[in-house]
Amino acid sequence: MLQEIQNELVEIKQDFDARTQFCEVTATAWENGRCQLGGKVLDGAILTAVINQLTIRFPSVDFEATAVALLRQPHMPTLTVCTNLTGLHRRPSRISEQMNQLLNGWTVEPLFTEGSWTFVRQMDGYLGWVQSGYLCDPPAPPPTHMVGSPVCLLYTKADESTPLVGRVMGSTAVHATIVSANWARITLAGGRVGFARLDGLRPLNALPGDENGRRQQIIAAARQLLGVPYQWGGCTALGIDCSGLSQMAYRMAGITLPRDADMQMDAGQPVKPPFQPGDLLFFGSSLGHRSISHVGISVGGWHIIHSSGPRNGVYEDDVQTVDWLRETFVEACIYL
């Protein structure tokens, strides 16, 4: 019986989306119609769903789940990303699949550790492994600006002839103190300080407030990355994937999207042609890694800007003249 229950738990695990739900429940002991469960789940809702499924399958068994750890508790602690950029991986290894990237100052919930890695939950619910040394306890300084250029260079002084002290990726929120007509002093999470040109920064209180302004900002942000190479899980000018591009472009307009293309489609409001600048077009087929496996940003009508594997980067295309885009189009959505 114990092995049958364990086999069922393996099947039940497949019902949960590992990107936002964690379920590692095992059957540890069996005695007199009672099964002891162990392992870890993200929260009580997942544990309840597991037990309900087990009860349907094994109605005569009494399941004891007090040994199952709930990773999320009330008043969860948080950590801050204190490097300029780091990967969020599927497994605790640099060579594991990179699912996303985290920017300086982003906040995460630490769920548990394994060696030099921490399993974290982003504030949007996305889960993955981060190297523990790239996380710190102090929160980021209160942000005042967003990096509006693809990459913002930090200098030791307000002078481009002085040495570099670092660089910050586009769409990163930073704390900036204006020091002159052209320069600001930047303080990053983790304590790094440098000077950046003001023309590469955008005040947070100056983000577009109307729909047309947001649409134009989305397109402008995406076009800044034309030619950037494709990188699975990437979200910056160093390399970016399709949903990373749409998420970043929307973030530059002050709008938060989920990470992956299928999640973005689920969160949007479907729209019909003619498409407006900033609408997202979604593509998918039975051959993809998911039913929705690609997204592009309309620059007006069927003309899109997207980061694609076939083009190995960010380029503009007309959906109607590219066979694989035309044949796999599913739906378009709006978020404005």
- Assess whether 290 and 219 both reside in one domain: yes
Considering the entire predicted model, what is its pTM?
0.95
The total number of structural domains in the chain stands at: 4
Q: What is the CATH number of the domain that holds 89?
A: 2.30.30.40
Asked if residues 47 and 29 have their Cβ atoms less than 8 Å apart, the reply is no
Q: In terms of residue numbers, what domain contains 17?
A: 2-70
Domain identity same for 255 and 301: yes
The verdict on 174 and 261 lying in the same domain is no
Beta-bridged to residue 34, according to DSSP, are 31, 62
Shared-domain flag, residues 214 and 326: yes
CA distance 293 to 115: 33
pLDDT at site 180 = 96
Report pLDDT for 172.
98
| Residues 277 and 330 occupy one common structural domain | yes
Secondary structure letter of residue 24 according to DSSP: E
Q: If you write DSSP's letter for every residue of 204-264 in order, what string do you get?
A: GGGS--SHHHHHHHHHHHHHTTTTPPB-TT-EETTEE-HHHHHHHHHHTTT----SSHHHH
Residues 232 and 307 in one domain: yes
Cβ atoms of 294 and 261 within 8 Å: the answer is: yes
One domain for residues 29 and 83 = no
Among 171, 166, 264, 252, which Cα is nearest to 216's?
A: 252
CB 191 within 8 A of CB 153: no
Same domain, 324 and 301: yes
Strand 62-70 with 34-41, pairing: parallel
275 lies in the same domain as 320: yes
**Statement to judge: residues 237 and 328 lie in one domain:** yes
Choosing from 22, 43, 70, the residue where a domain stops is 70
Domain final residue, candidates 23, 51, 70: 70
pLDDT score for 285 = 80
> Along the 336 residues of the chain, how does pLDDT read in single tens digits?
899 999 999 999 999 999 999 999 999 999 989 999 999 999 999 999 999 999 999 999 999 999 999 999 999 999 999 999 999 999 999 999 999 999 999 999 999 999 999 999 999 999 999 999 999 998 999 999 999 999 999 999 999 999 999 999 999 999 999 999 999 999 999 999 999 999 999 999 999 999 999 999 999 999 999 999 999 999 999 999 999 999 999 999 999 999 999 999 999 999 999 999 999 999 998 766 789 999 999 999 999 999 999 999 999 999 999 999 999 999 999 998
Give the largest Cα separation in the chain, rounded. Answer: 78
State whether 12 and 119 are in the same domain. Answer: no
Residue whose entry in the numeric block shows the structure tokens 């109607």: 320
Instruction: Write down the pLDDT at residue 290.
Output: 82
Q: Which of 112, 136, 160 is the last residue of a domain?
A: 136
What does the alpha-carbon distance between residue 151 and residue 83 come to, in Å, rounded to a whole number? 14
The string of pLDDT tens digits covering residues 129-186 is 999 999 999 899 999 999 999 999 999 999 999 999 999 999 999 999 999 999 999 9
Does residue 92 have a cis bond before it (omega within 30 degrees)? no
CA angle in degrees (0–180, nearest 5) for 268-273-279: 40
CATH code of the domain containing 290: 3.90.1720.10
Q: Are residues 112 and 221 in the same domain?
A: no
